[in-house]
Structure 1
Amino acid sequence: MADDQAKVKLYWLERSRAQNILWLLEELNIPYELETFRRVNRFAPPELKKVHPLGKSPVISVTPPGSAEPIVLAESGFITQYLCEHFGSETTMMPKRWKDGQEGKVGGETEQWLRWQYFLHYAEGSLMPMLYLGMVLGALKGPTVPFFLRPITSLVANQLIAKLVFPNAKKQLAFLEQQLETSGGDYLCGPDLTGADVLLSFALITAKDSFEAFGAWDEGGPRKLFPKFFAYIDRLDAHPGHKKSVEKIKQIDETLGTEFPA
């Protein structure tokens, strides 16, 4: 790596949302290093706390040119914004911020940039809590629960899913459907793939077949109710950049001795 380039390192935890950041780094065409970690009893290993006090992934470090002191960044939205702002000028990962002649003025931002900024916060602030709760409650009905307790945990889980997860899922999917209808293109911020789409990709692609199980949808199910939303997920899944990142992830998992989930 040239001395005048920032040095970027991604601290990779298997089966984590670091997958989003890897795809983003590839789209930004940034040379980067990887340091890989395996989970211990499904959790991140304590070694990650040496990188960031919370010991979570994704985490990156960025060492500016001529410096020996790295900047350590955590939280997916913050990482995405920082990388796009510093390395995304020749890509579509961050939309143009200012309308011509409105630079620095309140209300001078473009609609695409405002959408981009919003979805960087929406991903972790609104979408992921709903999906994570659904995942946790779904596990209460699975084989990890002893069979003699499963009828009770399943009853509790079904009640909570019906009252908390399902109404929220319908609201979130309807919202994203409407955002795609008004974006002016195939992606959430317009015609081009941005860092916000990449940030949402792992959660949506992973969850796309789980929405059906959240509750009793109207006839035809969620795919019929929200066609633009599911077409959007399929578009992310089929994107050449995503496919390339998946192949790289498979290679990483092989070096860790784990199997990439199908």
Structure 2
Amino acid sequence: MPLTLHHLGLSQSERIIWLAEELNLDYKLVHHKRDPIFAPQSIKDLHPAGTAPVMEDDPSTVTQSRVVLAESGAIIDYIIAVHGKGALAPTPKDGSAYPNYLEWYHFANGSLQPALFRVLMARGPASDPNSPVVVRTLAKWDHLLSMMEDRLAETGAYLAGEMLTAADIMTFFTLTTMRGFCPVEYDVEKHRHILAYLKRVGERPAYRKAMEICEGKDFVPLLSAKAEQFSLMKR
């Protein structure tokens, strides 16, 4: 079993565990605990980035030696290409699903995740809610949600089209678990297609299994309109 996946609790690394479960891969899982909020030394020792996720492939069939990768997108691309036989990643032969996949796959960490992180910073105790920067930050987040709402209304299923792809796996963390750090709410009417999407994906057996593996049986994924802030953020 050459593939080792390192998971930091309540982090983007849930994406990689979910991907592995969707692909039905064999892998070794290593859990890491936050210290107290950020990544512990055990994660920093694996890769200079010092953040989760981290993947080890030892030996890799690509290099015939140990490969260690950080960055969600890089890990997902590697696993799909090397271990997943190209599944969950449309190619040009898939027609319109291909450009749609590319755009939404990169949208996740290129636009959506940074925007929610900026919302988190804008809500800090020293921030001025009337500041042009704060107003613009919140407007940007609302605009990105509107883009997703329109896309999901169009497909009635997933971001690239009728089938789940790695674009959904990349995006879902920001729409769900990340809200435990920054509890944004969804409007039940304005965001009804996003909420239907959360329910649809949340019912997938691989997603449910992955979240139980990552956070335990008692963890309830943040799939509803409202989300409570994680206790670790209240210390």
User: TM-score by structure 2 length?
Assistant: 0.80
- Going from structure 1 to structure 2, the CA distance change for 1:46 and 1:157 (only over 3 Å counts) comes to farther
Aligned-pair distance for 1:160?
6.2
Q: How does 1:1-262 map to 2 (within 5 A)?
A: 1=1, 7-63=2-58, 64-65=60-61, 69-89=65-85, 91=87, 93-95=88-90, 97-99=91-93, 110-138=95-123, 140-141=124-125, 153=126, 156-157=128-129, 159=131, 162-183=134-155, 185-206=156-177, 207=179, 210-212=183-185, 222-251=187-216
Q: Deviations over 1:113-171 (max 9, x none)?
A: 22222222211110011111222333x24xxxxxxxxxxx36x2564675133211221
- Going from structure 1 to structure 2, the CA distance change for 1:173 and 1:124 (only over 3 Å counts) comes to same
Q: Which has the higher contact order (CA 8 A, sep 6+)?
A: 2
- Going from structure 1 to structure 2, the CA distance change for 1:252 and 1:52 (only over 3 Å counts) comes to farther
- Going from structure 1 to structure 2, the CA distance change for 1:33 and 1:173 (only over 3 Å counts) comes to same
DSSP 3-state at the match of 2:158: coil
DSSP 3-state at the match of 1:179: helix
Amino acid paired to 2:81:
E
Higher Cα Rg: structure 1 or 2? 1
Tell me the distance in 1 between the aligned counterparts of 2:130 and 2:203.
33
User: Which sits farther off after the overlay, 27-36 or 58-67?
Assistant: 58-67
The alignment covers a number of residue pairs equal to: 218
In structure 1, list runs of 5 or more residues that go unmatched.
2-6, 100-108, 142-152, 213-220, 255-260
Q: Deviations over 1:184-221 (max 9, x none)?
A: x4000111111111111121023399434xxxxxxxx7
Amino acid paired to 2:9:
E
In structure 2, list runs of 5 or more residues that go unmatched.
220-229
User: Which sits farther off after the overlay, 222-231 or 193-202?
Assistant: 222-231
- Going from structure 1 to structure 2, the CA distance change for 1:171 and 1:87 (only over 3 Å counts) comes to same
Aligned residues: CA RMSD: 2.9
Tell me the distance in 1 between the aligned counterparts of 2:12 and 2:132.
25
Tell me the distance in 2 between the aligned counterparts of 1:172 and 1:51.
34
Tell me the distance in 1 between the aligned counterparts of 2:218 and 2:73.
24
User: TM-score by structure 1 length?
Assistant: 0.73
Report if aligned partners of 1:134, 1:161 keep a CA contact under 8 Å in 2.
Answer: no
Instruction: Quote the sequence identity (%).
Output: 30
